[in-house]
Structure 1
Amino acid sequence: MATPLSPPPAESRPATTLQLCAEFGVYARRLPPLMDFTAAKDFAGRMTILKVSNGREKLNRLLSTSCTDLVVIIDGRHLAPLAVVGPDEVGSAIAGRCRALVVFGAVYDIGKLATEKRMPVYAADNSPFVLRAEGGRADATQLDCEAGLINSDYYLTCDADAIIAVKLEQMQAQFPTP
């Protein structure tokens, strides 16, 4: 007599933003609306926040070597109208196996970004004025935005409805995290 085959294990999918809001209520922090600049859409993961200044060289180095499996939030609001992220930074993020780039500031070369299928890039704006490629700083920081003060102790999930940040320890207690 044959034994029934057990179904394959279900893939662990990240919680949707709707599930996070239903579970955590006001503790699910909705980030301000950002524009989607690539063909890649959803993402989820632990995060780091970098504040960039004076050039993009250090940012590219960090993206390619130090941000593996992280959603990287880049704070470039103070640089307006200079763009901080474009195809070079996306290439560095892909090489470094980042999960996504979320830019509080501007991106450049959106025609090339629009064809990117592996790395989600969300940003507040776009600009033809670009921060110089050489030199610069990229320092770990916190993000103070409409959602409140957010730091690397948060988990970020993005889908068609929103980008939501939840404390990592709360997230891990309720949902499987990739």
Structure 2
Amino acid sequence: MTTGKVPPVATCDLFDTFKDAARFVLPGLRDFGAVTRFAGPVVTVKCFEDNSRVKELLATPGQGRVLVVDGAGSLRCALMGDMIAASAVKNGWAGVVIWGCVRDVGELATLNLGIKALGSIPRASTRRDQGLVDVPVELPGAMVKPGDFLFADEDGIVLLTPEQAAGLK
């Protein structure tokens, strides 16, 4: 398993298989997209109340990848709304996980995209052309590295290394 569409595997089954070798994100992220089960190789963004890198990345070919955004848990503004999410769908991203907020929740719910975030707020972020791409980031309970494989469903999020994911059938 390296790139392209990764079949979602139940997170409970993954955890039962890998036990303490699997990383998992603590509860608190909610589903906002029409897709609640998604998986793929990870691309990371670290940003604070500036979605410049999020918008740029989701406008590129996703090839079934998942964007993980470390927004430092800020609840003051949204890092993704309907237009950026629609771009992600158009470009073939499997999902977006945001440790922060989204907006345009009614529209997000109609999009064929996995979206997990802390919450929603109507306020948009201010673009200042800041943020880091492809760096290790932290979600509650788990360090996430570019190239990890993320599996998300109604039970939560499990992260595997590329080596662990290669052993899945």
> How many residues of Structure 1 are paired with residues of Structure 2 in the alignment?
162
| Cα separation, 2, equivalents of 1:120 and 1:98 | 9
Instruction: Provide Cα deviations, 1:115-135, integer angstroms capped at 9, x if missing partner.
Output: 22x111110111122103x55
Unaligned 5+ runs, structure 1: 1-11
Distance 1:91 1:170 in 2: 31
- How does the TM-score come out when normalised to structure 2? 0.84
Of the structure 1 ranges 61-70 and 99-108, higher mean CA displacement relative to structure 2 is found in 61-70
Aligned with 1:150 (options 144, 148, 158): 144
Q: Secondary structure at the match of 1:84?
A: strand
1:44 aligns with 2:62: no
Which is higher, the Rg of structure 1 or of structure 2? Answer: 1
Q: Does 1:108 align with 2:103?
A: yes
Gaps (5+ residues) in structure 2? 1-5
Q: In the superposition, relative to structure 1, how do residues 17 and 78 fare at CA in structure 2: closer, same or farther (>3 Å)?
A: closer
RMSD: 2.1
Letter paired with 2:121:
S
Q: Deviations over 1:27-75 (max 9, x none)?
A: 1112122101122211011111112356434422221115332111112
Change over 3 Å in CA distance of 1:91–1:125 after alignment to 2: same
Matching of residue 99 in structure 1 with residue 94 in structure 2: yes
Aligned to 1:175: 168
Question: 1:65 aligns to what SS in structure 2?
Answer: coil
Counterparts of 2:110 and 2:129 in 1: how far apart (Å)?
Answer: 28
Structure 1 length as normaliser, TM-score? 0.80
> Contact 2:81/2:108 (CA < 8 Å) preserved in 1?
yes
Q: How do 1:1-178 residues align onto structure 2 when only pairs under 5 Å count?
A: 13-33=7-27, 34-53=29-48, 55-65=50-60, 67-77=62-72, 79-116=74-111, 118-132=112-126, 134-140=127-133, 141-172=135-166, 174-176=167-169
